[in-house]
Structures are given as C-alpha cells and as structure tokens.
Structure 1
Amino acid sequence: MVYGSKKLHTQIPLTYLLLFSPAVDRDTIIAWYSPLNFFLPQADVFRGHQSGTGAWFLKHKVFQEWKSMSGKILWCPGMPGAGKTVLSSVVVHHLRTNPPTDNIGVAAIYLNHKESVEHSPSKLLAGLWRQLIFRKSISPEIQKLYEDHCEPHTRPSAAEDLAVLRSVVSEYSKVFVVVDALDE
C-alpha cells in the first residue's frame, strides 16, 4: 500500500490511498521474498527426460516406503553425470501428479556449484516457501514482513524465514522436499 497526499490544481488537499490489485500484490511479494524460482529448473530438466526414465525407481520398494512414511530421508548418492538431476525431476513430477492433491506439498531445490553464492540458507528456505505457496493465499505474516522490510531494503531474519516456512508447511497434511546436488 502506498499512502500520500497531493494538491489538485484547485489547491484542494487530496489524501489518497493506492491499493494494488491482489494478483499484482501477491506476485510482488513472492518475487521480493523469494528470488529463487525452482519451478524453472524443474520444468527444464523434466522437459528433457526420456519417457519411462526413472520408472524403475518410482516402483522400487524403498521409494514406495519412503513416500508412504513421514519424517524420513531418502538419500540417493551417485557419480557425477549418473542422472540424479533427471531422476530428481521425475520424482518431483511424480509426487506432484500422482495423485494430485492440494493437501500434499512438494518442493524441490536444484543446487548448482556455479550459483552457490545465490544459495544462502535464507534464500533456500524462501525458495521452498515459493513452491509451497503456489496455489495458496499469501498470509498476513508475509505481507507484514514485506511492509516491514521492502522499503528499507532489508531481509527478514533467519527466525522469520523459518516461521514463514513452518506456517505454510502447517497448511499441508504432508510435505515432500527433494534436494538435488546437496554436495554442491
């Protein structure tokens, strides 16, 4: 919101309140809070996969058990160039579409040693938030953070970032997080 006052040509003071449309305001807040958009690498990598890639993995007992449990980590190490990034994108696509539900959140982080400066913990948390908020409303808490930090060009604290992520995670019955290239 922008507040201010102006004088019309007739010298009558005019106080005004400029309200942004919800869509613009939402997009502005999302872009401000989370400059990392992991939807893009997910789409790029998945677009390049061959049909059937990773089907063996999605059917594997270990993956199926991990998918059905909560609070578990599935660690999949491999040599460089083995296809872990493509497999990650297949897993993300599978989790988002089989079955598609608004009650299960799926977020992915694609790390890259060339962009490691951009991958601060704060930005990574915000990148997860951006994906989980995709079809949800912006909370009053994030709107307040925007109002408090946007104009002075500051960033929320780590505690605030964690609170924002916890808030959106609590809106889901289950959340999957896929991290590619954690060692980068």
Structure 2
Amino acid sequence: EFIGNNIPPYAILSHTWGSKDDEVSFQDIKNNVGKRKLGYQKIRFCGKQAKDDNLAFIWVDTCCIDKTSSAELSEAINSMFQWYQNAKICYAYLSDVSNEISGDESQSVQRQKSALQQSKWFTRGWTLQELLAPASVEFFSKDWERLGNKQYLKQTIHEITKVPLEVLEGAPVSRYSVEERFSWASNRQTARVEDESYCLLGIFDIHMPLIYGEGKEKALKRLQKEVKESQGETAANLSHNIKANNPARDASLSKILRWLAAPDPSVNYQKAFKQRQQDTGLWFLESELYTNWRVDDASSIWLYGIPGCGKTILSSTVLQDILQHCDIKLGQVAAYFYFDFNDVKKQHADLMLRSLVCQLLQQSVEIPTGLDTLSS
C-alpha cells in the first residue's frame, strides 16, 4: 500500500459493474480465487493496457476496496474523485459497445455516436466523476478495442451528458454552479439509492459520513446541507459584507421603499408554505422540465389549472427551492408576486411591478441613481 507522496504513477479503471457474483472482490484477490470470475477479464485487460502504457500499477474499485470494512468504504468513497484525478490515465470500459465501430475509417461518425449514446456507462452515477476527474480518459469497446480518448470524443460526450466542453477539456468543475453540476447527474442511476448523493461528493469537493439505509431523501438533504455550508457561506458572507456598513445606501433604500408603497407577497408565500404537506411537489422539482428551466437562460414555465387545484401550494415548493438556490449562488436573486383576489393591493399589474422592484432593490449592492432621483 502506498500513502501520501510515495504513490507511484498508476492507471485506473472505470466500468459498469456486472452481478455481484461476477465481480472480483478484495477477498477474492486475498484468497487467490478471483481468476475464476468473469470480472477478472477487466482486471487482466487493465493490467495489460497499463503495461503497454509503461505503468506498473493499476487500481480497480471492485477489488481494491475492502467493502466489508465500513471505515475503509467510507474513506474510499470520500476520496474517489481525488484518486481518479491523480491517475495517470483512466481506462473506460464500455461493456455494451461493439468493436465493429472502432478502427474502421469507413464507418460514419453518426454510427459511433449512436452506439455511445446507448451505452449504460453514460447512465450510471459513479461514472460521472470518473469522466470528469481524470485528465486523460481512454474509451474501450467490449472487445477491448480503443474507441478514442476524452478529447477526441468530447463533442459526442458533451451531447450525451450535457457536460460543458470546457469541463471535458480540463476546466475545474468548481467554475460551474451547484445547480449545473447537479443537472449533469440528474438522469443517472445507482444500485443503492443513497449513492445518488454519495457519488457527487467529489464533484462538490466535500466529505461526509456514509449512512446506508438512510434513504434517498435524507442522503440528498445531507448533501445539500454540506454543499450549502461549504460553498454557500462564502457567497452569503461576501454579499453581506458588501451591503453592510453603508448608511447612505440604507437611507436611500428606505426612502424608495416608502415611495413605492408596494404590497408584501411574503405573506402569501408563508401562508401557502404552512399549508403544504411534507414533500409536496418534489415530483415537480425532480422533473426534467423544471431542472432545465433552472439552468437555461431566459426560459419560462407556465403552470395552469382550475381554481383550487393546488397551484398556490405547488408554487410555495418551487419558491422555497429558488430562494435556497439564491442563498447559495452569489450574484443571483429571486423576486416573486402573488395575485390575490382577497387583497385589493394584489390585483393590479402596476402593484406587482412595484413589489418586484422593491425586492430586487433590497438585494442589490447599489441603488440605481434614476430611482433615487424619482423618489426625491
């Protein structure tokens, strides 16, 4: 075992697991029985390819982690992104892509793209970090034929995964928003529901204990909490410091707010939020429609229905999610309004505009000179 600065150059394998009985475990290697299993062919290939690439060491997740030790498993999952990042090269084995699309110059690019698009490797949760972390990723077919590397296939990979080309070219994932990074994993699956969150630890550069059995929702909530604490606090503190200790701004803002005399929509939001049952509307937050709307520029969603069907309650779920997003994402703010037939101050478009302006001003670092002049 190598630790710290004494780790030699190594290759690492990325693959989709077969059945538990087919894969070679740490205990199988220890007891010298691994060669009997189908999964040993992947280990054998990885070793042979590493030798061809002048590398003396390989790392394969199935047999290099003692999964009977919860402590070792937790350490491995929390360190996985770094291990893939530090590898000299990553071999991505696509067990469902035929070698007939490789090595033949007469075949069309579209045929190769179609085969890659259908590969389950691009649908698994763990393979996302295995794609992003290593500087060099070589793709191989089920017959161990080379398909191309990450740079050569980057356009196709981008179209399949929606991961920006800049990231595939080596840009740090930290340059991208929390929401965008979550969106890269939105359509991926894992064998254990908790792993849908655990497989993203490295992508957000956080560590947290693993609690298998806690369920999908609790794992996700813990992940979101850790992400907010590690990345959101910096943004929130920066925003607070910019606005703090500015008496001139505060005086100008108070004057404008009195002048606009806008209605307060938070009353409607809080009322709807209190009436909402736990987990109401989560199906909508997890939908592709909503996820795309969150990350796309200048996009819109129109939800409509008969009176009393639940639009107001659903909107409180959406609004809570948006407000939490803006707490994390520096430079983005939220403004909202409720039309209310029981409140005459919330029945006209001009009052809506006043309310939106007030909300944006309260979250702004500087007060526009034009508004300051108009309110004088």
Decide: shared fold, TM above 0.5: yes
For residues 58-83 of structure 1, what are the alpha-carbon distances to aligned partners after superposition, in whole Å with 9 as ceiling and x for unaligned? 00111111212122221111222121
Aligned-partner Cα distance in 1 for 2:312–2:262: 21
User: Which of 43, 48, 51 is matched with 2:278 structurally?
Assistant: 51
Structure 1 unmatched runs, 5+: 1-19, 148-184
Matches within 5 A, 1:1-184: 23-98=250-325, 100-115=328-343, 118-136=346-364, 137-147=366-376
Distance 1:118 1:86, change over 3 A: closer
Say if 1:108 and 1:128, in contact at 8 Å, map to a contact too. Answer: yes
Asked if structure 2 preserves the Cα contact closer than 8 Å seen for 1:39 and 1:131, the reply is no
The answer for unaligned runs of 5 or more in structure 2 is 1-246
Query: Quick check: which has more Rg, 1 or 2?
Result: 2
Q: 1:105 to 1:21 in 2, by over 3 A?
A: closer
Aligned residue identity for 1:127: S
Identity of matched residues, % = 23
Q: Which has the higher contact order (CA 8 A, sep 6+)?
A: 1
In 1, Cα distance between equivalents of 2:259 and 2:324: 28
Deviations 1:30-49 (A, max 9, x none): 13214222222222322332
Question: CA separation in 1, counterparts of 2:333 and 2:248?
Answer: 27
Structure with greater proportional strand content = 1
Q: Would the alpha carbon gap of residues 71 and 34 (structure 1) be closer, same or farther in structure 2, given more than 3 Å must change? A: farther
* Mean CA deviation greater in 52-61 or 100-109: 100-109
One-letter amino acid matched to 1:105: V
Name the counterpart of 1:157: none
- Equivalent-residue separation in structure 2 for 1:119 and 1:101 (angstroms): 32
Q: Secondary structure at the match of 1:104?
A: coil
May I ask how many residue pairs the two structures share in their alignment?
A: 128
Measured after TM superposition, the shift of residue 129 of structure 1 is 1.2
The CA RMSD over aligned residues, in Å, is 2.3
* One-letter code aligned to 2:338: Y
Q: CA deviation at 1:114?
A: 3.2
Q: Distance between the aligned counterparts of 1:146 and 1:139, measured in 2?
A: 11
Instruction: Please give the TM-score of this superposition, normalised by the length of structure 2.
Output: 0.31
